[in-house]
């Protein structure tokens, strides 16, 4: 007995009668399988005729519409021929990553999701989708809030990062006790987002942001002092470090009244102050000493300096104008913070 199963029909060319005696076990199994296939095929044909055809002449019968099939893209890498597979298997790569990141911004997406802008230590700035983060039962709802520093497990699917798991390391809860501190922290987040790049890790920038938020939430220093030191330090890390060692015009290193150029970031003496492109700002000796300390101090002690109220206001004004001029943009959170003060 021989039989062959095709895609469209069952072909059973011949049944060779066995010799006299009993059937072998293999022949019996083949006959049972063939009978079962013939029964299924005939029952399907009867069902289709009863459903799709009506009584009458064959020419007047309504033919049943063919069933729609889902077409898949063919494999472009295979040659044309009999051995070519009918369908291609599309491979989807899913890659998991564990990163440590600070949430800089959160935006509602669709009904219950969030789009997060995260500054990570390993991958730089990333855009992450947190599915179901707005639901009460979400396991990473706390880790998807702004200013939360967490250990996150992400998976990359088709060029987009999704948040799978997260555990909060530090949430800086003290920032939410005062409107001024919260507005200043939002300005810090906008500044970090402006100077950071995707796929460009900068652990020093993340460390500075964490230190600033920690000092602000625990009220270790005054807000003006933290703000001025953070702005100037961010400019140094981002490649906009000012030249504060000597006069850019004559080369003097001491015994001169300093004039700081906002546009070029250079230092001039009072005699060479006219060479500054924007006229420059006259600053005091204590302000210059504080700027030199901030640019060269250890990252953990960048906020540890003392100034009187007058010099601290002058330092804050110079650092803010320098940061806004070099980045050539404004910040909405900074405007709101100035309104509060």
Which residues fall within 8 angstroms of residue 39, CB to CB, at 6 or more apart? none
pLDDT reported for residue 50: 52
Indicate whether this model's pTM tops 0.85. Answer: no
Distance CA 101, CA 210 (A): 10
264: left (phi over 0), alpha (psi -120 to 50) or beta: alpha
- Alpha-carbon torsion (224, 228, 233, 235), positive or negative: positive
pLDDT reported for residue 236: 95
- Look at strands 259-260 and 2-5 and give their pairing: unpaired
Buried b (16+ CB within 10 A) or exposed e, 127-145: ebbbbbbbeeebebbebbb
Question: Is residue 116 within 8 Å of 105, Cβ to Cβ?
Answer: yes
Distances in whole angstroms, Cα of residue 327 to Cα of each of 32, 233, 263: 81, 14, 11
Q: Write out the chain's pLDDT in tens, 341 residues.
A: 444 444 344 444 444 444 455 556 666 666 665 555 555 555 555 555 555 444 445 555 555 554 444 434 444 444 544 454 444 444 445 588 999 999 999 999 988 999 999 999 999 999 999 999 999 889 999 999 999 999 999 998 888 999 999 999 999 999 999 999 999 999 999 999 999 998 889 999 999 999 999 999 999 999 999 999 999 999 999 999 999 998 888 888 877 888 999 988 999 888 887 777 676 888 999 999 999 999 999 888 999 999 999 999 999 999 999 999 999 999 999 999 999 98
Instruction: Quickly tell me which residue has 């519409």 as its tokens.
Output: 65
Domains of the chain listed by start with CATH number:
94-177 (2.40.50.140), 204-340 (1.20.1440)
Write a three-state SS string for the chain: CEEEECCCCEEEEECCCCCCCCCCHHHHHHHHHHHHHHHHHHHHHHHHHHHHCCCCCHHHCCCCCCCCCCCCCCCCCCCCCCCCCCCCCCCCCEEEEEEEEEEEEEEEECCCEEEEEEEECCCEEEEEEECCCCCCCCCCCCCCCCCCEEEEEEEEECCEEEEEEEEEEECCHHHHHCHHHHHHHHHHHHHHHHHCCECCCCHHHHHHHHHHHHHHHCCCCCHHHHHHHHHHHHHHHCCCCCECCCCCCCCCCCCCCCEECCCCCEEECCCCHHHCCCCCEECCHHHHHHHHHHHHCCHHHCCCCCCCHHHHHHHHHHHHHHHHHHHCCCCHHHHHHHHHC
Dihedral pair phi/psi, residue 289, rounded to 5°:
-65, -40
């Amino acid at each position: 007995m021989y039989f062959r199963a095709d895609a469209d029909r069952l072909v059973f060319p011949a049944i060779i009668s066995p010799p006299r005696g009993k059937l072998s076990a293999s022949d019996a199994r083949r006959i049972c399988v063939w009978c079962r296939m013939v029964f299924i095929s005939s029952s399907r044909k009867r069902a289709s005729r009863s459903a799709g055809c009506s009584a009458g002449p064959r020419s007047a019968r309504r033919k049943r519409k063919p069933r729609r099939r889902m077409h898949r893209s063919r494999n472009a890498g295979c040659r044309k021929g009999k051995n070519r597979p009918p369908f291609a298997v599309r491979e989807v790569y899913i890659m998991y990553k564990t990163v440590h990141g600070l949430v800089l911004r959160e935006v509602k997406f669709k009904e219950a999701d969030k789009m997060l802008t995260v500054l990570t230590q390993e991958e730089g700035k990333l855009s992450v989708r947190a599915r179901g983060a707005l639901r009460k039962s979400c396991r990473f709802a706390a880790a998807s809030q702004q200013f939360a520093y967490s250990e996150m497990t992400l998976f990359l699917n088709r060029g987009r990062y999704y948040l799978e798991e997260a555990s909060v390391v530090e949430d800086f809860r003290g920032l939410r006790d005062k409107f001024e501190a919260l507005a200043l922290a939002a300005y810090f987040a906008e500044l970090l987002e402006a100077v950071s790049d995707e796929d460009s890790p900068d652990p020093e920038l993340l460390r500075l942001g964490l230190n600033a938020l920690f000092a602000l939430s625990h009220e270790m220093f005054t807000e003006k002092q933290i703000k001025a030191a953070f702005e100037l330090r961010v400019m140094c890390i981002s490649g906009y470090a000012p030249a504060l060692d000597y006069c850019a015009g004559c080369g003097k290193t001491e015994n001169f009244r300093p004039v700081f150029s906002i546009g070029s970031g250079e230092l001039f003496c009072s005699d060479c102050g006219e060479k500054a492109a924007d006229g420059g700002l006259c600053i005091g000796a204590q302000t210059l000493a504080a700027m030199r300390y901030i640019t060269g101090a250890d990252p953990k002690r960048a906020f540890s300096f003392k100034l009187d109220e007058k010099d601290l206001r002058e330092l804050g004004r110079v650092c803010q104008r320098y940061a806004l001029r070099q980045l050539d943009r404004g910040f909405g959170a900074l405007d709101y913070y100035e309104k509060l003060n």
